[in-house]
Amino acid sequence: MKTRFLDWYLKIAIGSALVGGGMEFFMIKTGFYDKVTVLEAERRAYEDSPEAQAIREALNPWRNKETGTGKSS
């Protein structure tokens, strides 16, 4: 009985490894990682820009305010 479950888990592990390897191979061959690297660099450059900082401040004006003023609990 114990080896039956071991065989089942071994089959699942091998199948999962094959599917994962196939996905990685597909992403490498299609240039997925290169595209993601460029998009991530663009996103980080935009987040550091003054325009993005102004948008963040406009959307959350209480972000840099002191929270200790007023009520105490």
pTM of the model: 0.53
Domain coverage including residue 9: 1-30
Query: Average pLDDT over the chain, rounded to whole?
Result: 85
- Is position 41 within any domain? yes
- Is position 69 within any domain? no
**pLDDT higher at 71 or 6:** 6
Helix (H) / strand (E) containing 29: helix 2-30
Indicate whether 38 and 51 sit together in one domain.
Answer: yes
Token pair 């094959």: residue? 18
Q: Confidence band (pLDDT; 50, 70, 90) for 23? A: very high
Indicate whether 23 and 35 sit together in one domain.
Answer: no
Number of domains observed in the structure of the chain: 2
Taking residues 37-65, report their average pLDDT. Answer: 85
Taking residues 46-66, report their average pLDDT. Answer: 81
Q: Are 22 and 15 in contact (CB under 8 A)?
A: no
Alpha carbons 14 and 30: distance in angstroms, whole number = 24
Indicate whether 26 and 36 sit together in one domain.
Answer: no
Indicate whether 14 and 26 sit together in one domain.
Answer: yes
What are the tokens at 11?
């089959």
